[in-house]
Amino acid sequence: MTINIVPARPEHAHPIGSRLREADKHEVWAASRLRPVEAVKLSLSASELTWTLLRGGDPVLMFGVARRSLLDPVGVPWLLATNDILKVKATVLKKSRQYINLMRRDFETLENFVHGENRISIAWLRWCGFIVEPGEPRGPDMEIFHRFWMNGGLYDV
């Protein structure tokens, strides 16, 4: 089946959000009380760089980076996926550093938070080279989130 990574478009938000994997649903709810489709739409609209991975033309995941604030050199990377990410995990691993490099060109630091129970995402972030700090309570219900970050410089890909 053909796998393509294309610039994200608003029409990708609903197919991804309506099938968001449980770990991502829990994370966006625990962080900000957003429903899945809302979270994908908000992430897309707030970001400077965004992409969608398509498998056979179907949106599987969306990812990108938003600026933390207008004059801030910190980018906030994110990725929201359906369960079909398991069918494209080799591509995700193969392409991760390339797209992180694209994000790092525009930002001195990449930084965000990942839910403490989102073990697959935590492992992937570490594999990508992010520093994942010990968890601390955050969000409306003070659930455990780990800050993850990476400073400038590019990978060899």
Q: Summarize pLDDT for 34-77 with one digit per residue, the tens.
A: 999 999 999 999 999 999 999 999 999 999 999 998 888 899 99
What integer pLDDT is reported at residue 106 of this predicted model? 86
Which residue shows structure tokens 């591509």?
91
What integer pLDDT is reported at residue 62 of this predicted model? 98
The CB-side HSE value for 78 (13 A sphere, CA atoms) comes to 25
Round to the nearest angstrom and report the end-to-end CA distance of the chain: 25
Domains plus CATH for the chain? 3-111 (3.40.630.30)
What is the largest distance, in Å, between two alpha-carbon atoms of the chain?
Answer: 42
**Structure confidence at residue 12 as a pLDDT band (50, 70, 90):** very high
Map residue 43 onto helix, strand or coil: helix
What integer pLDDT is reported at residue 45 of this predicted model? 97
The structure tokens listed for 17 are 């959000």
Which of 66-80, 126-140, 142-156 has the largest mean confidence?
126-140
Cβ 118 vs Cβ 80: under 8 Å = no
User: Identity (one letter) of the amino acid at 3?
Assistant: I
